[in-house]
Structure formats: C-alpha cells, structure tokens
Chain A
Amino acid sequence: MLQLFLQLVKKDLLIFFADKKAMIITLAVPIGIASFLGSVMGGASDGKLPNKVTVMVSDQDGSATTKAMIQKLRESNTVSVKEGAAQIAEEKVKSGDVAVAIILPRGFGASSSAAMQGGEAPSLPVISDPSKSVEAQVAKGAIMQSVTSVLVKNIYGRAEVLPFKIEEKTQTNTDTAKWSGSAHAFAGMGIQALFFGALEAAMLMMRDRRNGIWSRLRASPVSRWTLLFARLTGSAILSTLTYCIVFASGMAIFGFRINGSIVGFGLIALTLGAMVAATGLFIAALGKTEQQSRGLSILVILSMLLLGGAWFPAFLMPSWIQPVSYLTPVRWAVDGVDAMTWRGEGLAQAIPAAGVLAAFALVLTLVAGARFRWEPEAK
C-alpha cells in the first residue's frame, strides 16, 4: 500500500519537475513581486519611517527664531524640509508634489514668542494635500514639536525643552526582532503564489478529467480516497516546498530571519501547503468547466488574500474587517508566519495557526472527496 501511495505521489512530483520553465516561473514570479513589495514596504525597521515626509517651508519672517524653528524641523527624523516662496509652496501642494507646506508669516518669531507670555497667538498657515492625510498628520506633529521647542528654549534658555522624553521600545520575543515589511511581503506573496499554483493544479485536474485520466484511475482497483489523498499529498509537498524556497529567497535578498521557532515555521508551512492543496482539490471537485471555475476561484482567492492581510498588514484595514479576516485561512497563515519570523514567537504560538489551517484542509478535502466528479460530462 505504501509502495503504491509513494508511486502515486511520485508521479505528481515528476510532472512538476518535468517542465523546468514552468517550475522556474512558479518560483520566480512570487520572489519578484515580493521583492518589489518588500522594497516598497521597507526592510527590517529600526523604528524610523521608511521614507520621510517632505515639508515645504516658506520663511517670510526671516528672524533668528523662525530660522531656529526650521533648523529644528530639519533635525526631525520624520520629515525632510525644503524651503521656497509661499506661492511655490502652495503650487507644490496643489500639484501633489509635497504633502504639506507651512508659511511662517512676517513677524511670526516675535509674535509667537510674545504669545508664550500672554500675548495674542499668531496664525501659522499649514497647507496640506487632502489625499495625503497620514503624511499631513506626521508633518503637523513635527512642526508642532519644532516650533514649541524653539519658543520654550527662547524663554527658559534650556536645550531640552520638553518636560519628558519618549523612550521607544518594540515588544517582541527577541531583543533583535523588529517589524520587517519585506518579511511580511514574502509571507503574503508566498501564500498568493501557492493559491494561484493550486488554481493551476485544479485546472490541470479538470483537464485530466476531460482527457479521461480520472476515469482510467477510477477503473483501477485502487480506492477513490487513496487516489485523492495521494493527489493531495503530492500537491501539499510541492506547495510547502515552493513556499519554503520563496521564503528562503527573501531571507537571502533582504536579510530577514526566522527569529522564532523554525519547527513552528515548518509546521505552518506544512499545514499551509495542505490547506492550499485541498483548495485546489475542492475547486477541481466542484468545478464544471475550466473557464467558470477559473473566474470564480480568482475572485474568491483575491478576496481572501486582501482580507487576510497577504498584500498589506491587516492592521491597516478598517476595524470592522478585522474579525471577518479571521474567517479566511490566509489571515491565520500570515499571522502565523509573522509570529515565527519577525515577532520571534515559539512553537506554542504556531499551534493555533497550524491547527486552523489543518482544519480548513480537512474540511475542504472531505467536501472535495464527497463531491469529486471522476467522469467527463456524460456523452
């Protein structure tokens, strides 16, 4: 029985490795997309934003106070400062070239200093691009800190002007582990590659059915569950292997590491592979024509990837989507891989994700097995 099972699984591996070009494309595409996204999202974070927000400053006052404010702003690690005339600053914001512009009006240095001692507060025009509200908030925070800092120093003569210091500390299981956009990109894009690989495997199974291969298999003395389970195992092995190669490539390119349990990562990769393979079997079992199944499956897969946080971190999504996303296996897989990589969690934290993925795999396999159509359309 084992010999038969191994022969059945070996056939799927031989078919995968027989087409070298397709195999390379299967691996290269997710690595390419994840590398691009990883570059955009940033590598291992040191607490700074990957890109500073550009702020255009127009100093109409030209006083020592406003010059000190601009200098202080330049020292910020969240914004980069460009100076120019007010009209140019407004044009730059209007055209979307910069997110925020501030205009320090004539007499602002003196009037703002006077306001600290009871005088009337002057206006500080801040012009922002409505499509870049996040950048605008970051810039406004930096401007507020710089202006206040200089004014307080002018009055009290102290270099450190705020009555407290923020001490930033990231909370993970290891001292060295930090949020890694590239690790997240490879986790997500690897999962995406597996799903699209499963879709292609489903299409292949449907072509095999059309070509009478499943009829021929059914005509053999081997039970249907043995045939299906062998197919599932072959697909799961290939999916797990693909995921590990894609992830290892990311580690080599971007330098992120599995800071948590390697066994836990392996467990999640294995159950992820099984779940994705079961998805392929499920599509092949229920689909009638390749065209119909492909269209519908792409819609479902893309929705799951989006909701599950494969494209961008789930915490960026609206709060009402958060609980919904846990209904998709993708969310569990992404969170599980994140936990084993940059969060540095142990094996125990891999168990829930692996359990949910295994449960998805089991349910999909049982439904697929019960509904699998072995014959082409009746003649």
Chain B
Amino acid sequence: MLTVTGLTKRYGEIKAVDGLSFEVPKGICFGLLGPNGAGKTTTISMIAGTVDPDGGDVTLDGVSVAQRSAEAKQRIGYVPQELAIYEDLSAIANLHFFGALYGLFGADCDRAIDRVLEVVGLADRAREPVKRFSGGMKRRLNIAVGLLHDPELMIFDEPTVGVDPQTRNAIFETLTALREQGKTLIYTTHYMEEVERLCQEVAIMDHGRIVAQGDLRTLKNSDSKVKEVSVYLHGAIDLPSETAIPGVLNWNAEDTLLRFEMEDLGVSLAAALTFLCHNGAAIISVRTAEASLEQIFLQATGKSLRD
C-alpha cells in the first residue's frame, strides 16, 4: 500500500502541494485529477522520488521514499508526461540503458526487454532509432521503459496526451492488463472518461490539496452531488424563464422535454414535480442520471479558467 502523509512542497511563495495525505490500496488504479497548476505533477514527482518534499513522507509498504530511496524506487515505475527517451538510440538501446539503472543486465535484461516490447507492440521495430518512430510509438516506448523492471507501483503522468485514438486504445489495453495483473497504478489525466474507464478510486486536487476523494461510485452517488433529471411531458409547458422551481439548480425546456439539475433528489424531486403539476405540466415519465465525473470535477474545483 502507498501511503502519503502530510506531503508539502513550496516553490518560492507558492505552495504547490499543501499537506497532502491519502492512501492507495494495493492492486487498484488510482486516478489523480485536477486543473492545471493543481499540484498533480509535483505530487507524483514526490511519490516517484524525483522531487524532494519540504515536508511529509511517502511510504510504499512502510518503506520511505525519502529515507530508503533506492529500495523504494526499485519498486516504483515512473512514466513521465514528457517522452523521456533518447531519440538517437534504438528502442532496444534505450531499454538496455534504463534496464541497467534498475540492475538489469545480460540475459535478465534481454528477457525483460522482450517482454515489454511485446506488451507495447514494438517488438518488430526494436532496432530502429527512436527518432524514426511516430508519436504514438514513442509514447508506447516511454511506457515500456517504466514497465521494464516489473515494478509493483506504476505512476503514469498523462500518458495519452497528444496520441491518436488507436494509440490511446492500445495504451488503455496495456494499463488494463497491468491492473488485472494486480499492479497498483497511479494515473493523472485531464480526460474524465479515461478515469471512469480505468480507475477504481479518484482524488481531485486543487490548489495543492485534495478537494474530493473516494471510489468512483461513491463519488457519483454522493447525496451532495448534482443529479440531472429529465422530465418527459404530454405537450409543451408554458413556464416563464425566470420561474424558480423548488430545489432545482437550473432548468431548460425544449418542446416536451424539461431538463434540470438538483443537488438532492431525495429531498427535492417530489417538490419539484408537484410544482410542475400545479403549473399545468402533464408528466409522462421522469428519468434521473447520476452526475458525470466532469460535473463532480467542476463542482469541486469551480469553473474559472486556470491558465
């Protein structure tokens, strides 16, 4: 299990990460979400041991990344957002080099290289210089480097940025396979659908702190979260646009369909429907939908631009 306790990092006056604490159970995919500048990359850099924290600690099954650095790092695979590979070298030369950093030499290294090249589908291009690879192939090699020493915990920093749908799908299949093998994954991304597809637990960060955390289902079903309601009517309803429907956050009507959002279905839905009936609505059916992750994200972090 990965345990993050009171993690803090300052860059001058800016507190990039502010006393962060969370746990990632073994064998799950943990999504770390947040707007630009929320502190995601700084957080995973401290977990990977590439940035020294100003305070707090990161432990992997009780082994501190700061104090027993080499031991902890040997169990972590890090895939940075950038294509951190040598373009002048072949894929196989890159893997030999990065394998050596984790103590892989000779036949052990060759076996590990064959395994990861197979996983990322680059076995037939292994001896070509990386500079001849497409962007997607480089991205896959970038992942292969992180997998090479068969780590228990893998950290992916936005691994699907700028790739085509086929490559994204291939990366997803790789990550899904890793999850099924029982690896622990930490995954940062801006793409909500990726988190929904891959992660069991999510933490949403903003201003260096976690503002929402939990498993996906709990987050989505949380009473405090926005629900979307669609009301199908027998004929159009004539409501002035400024009408306040009890318990409804905002609403819009298109012909015979009325849509609105509300925070607490249990408390407010009955009152809202009663209000509509009293105002001449002939209700045929009502459909509710759980909040999307994007809605949860925007509710937790606000809608103001961060760039």
Contact = CB atoms under 8 A, between A and B. Distances in A.
Interface of A: 3-4, 7-8, 10-11, 14-15, 18-19, 210-213, 215-223, 374-376, 378-379
B301 interface: no
A212 B93 contact: no
B73 A221 contact: yes
Interface of B: 11, 16, 36-37, 41-42, 45, 48-51, 69-71, 73-74, 76, 78, 80-86, 88-89, 93, 96-98, 100-103, 105, 129, 145
A104 B187 CA distance: 95
Contacts, number: 88
A11 B86 contact: yes
A269 B36 CA distance: 50
B102 to A, nearest CB: 6
5 contacts: A11-B86, A212-B84, A215-B82, A219-B50, A220-B98
A166 to B, nearest CB: 60
A18 B98 CA distance: 18
Contact of A7 (B45, B71, B74, B97): B97
A14 B84 contact: no
A219 B76 contact: yes
B89 A212 contact: no
B196 to A, nearest CB: 24
B61 to A, nearest CB: 16
A375 B157 CA distance: 14
Nearest to B146: A216
B91 to A, nearest CB: 13
B84 A213 contact: yes
A200 B226 CA distance: 55
Contacts of A213: 82, 84-86
Nearest to B80: A212
A14 B129 CA distance: 12
A379 B80 contact: no
Contact of A8 (B42, B51, B100): B100
Contacts of A7: 96-97, 100, 105
B45 A375 contact: yes
A4 B101 contact: yes
A14 B97 CA distance: 11
Contacts of B98: 216, 220
B50 A218 contact: yes
A378 B103 contact: no
Contacts of B76: 219
B101 to A, nearest CB: 4
B80 A216 contact: yes
B86 A15 contact: yes
Contacts of A219: 48-50, 73, 76, 78
A18 B131 CA distance: 11
Contacts of A212: 80-84
Given A19-B88, A213-B84, A216-B78, A4 B41 contact: no
A219 to B, nearest CB: 4
A373 to B, nearest CB: 11
Most buried by A among B16, B74, B82, B102: B82
Contacts of A374: 50
Given A11-B93, A379-B37, 12 more contacts: A14-B89, A18-B88, A211-B83, A213-B82, A215-B48, A215-B84, A216-B98, A219-B49, A220-B73, A374-B50, A376-B82, A379-B42
Nearest to A218: B50
Contacts of B49: 218-219
Nearest to A220: B101
A84 to B, nearest CB: 63
Nearest to A217: B101
A34 to B, nearest CB: 28
B199 to A, nearest CB: 21
B100 A3 contact: yes
Nearest to B157: A212
Contacts of A14: 88-89, 93
A147 B106 CA distance: 83
B97 A221 contact: no
Contacts of B83: 211-212
A-B pairs with the 8 shortest C-beta distances? A212-B82, A7-B100, A220-B101, A212-B80, A212-B84, A221-B70, A219-B78, A216-B84
A222 B101 CA distance: 6
B42 A378 contact: yes
A375 B51 contact: yes
A3 B105 contact: yes
B109 to A, nearest CB: 9
B50 A210 contact: no
A261 to B, nearest CB: 37
B84 A15 contact: no
Contacts of A4: 100-101, 103
Nearest to A10: B97
A11 B89 CA distance: 8
Nearest to A3: B105
Contacts of B50: 215-216, 218-219, 374-375
B101 A215 contact: no
Contact of A378 (B16, B69, B71, B88): B16
Contact of A379 (B41, B86, B96, B97): B41
Contacts of A216: 50, 78, 80, 84, 98, 145
B45 A215 contact: yes
A376 B74 CA distance: 23
Nearest to A6: B100
A223 B73 CA distance: 11
A173 to B, nearest CB: 45
A15 B87 CA distance: 9
Most buried by B among A15, A210, A378: A378
Contacts of B16: 378
Most buried by B among A19, A212, A219, A222: A219
Given A14-B93, A15-B89, A375-B51, A211 B70 contact: no
A135 to B, nearest CB: 51
A274 to B, nearest CB: 23
Nearest to A379: B41
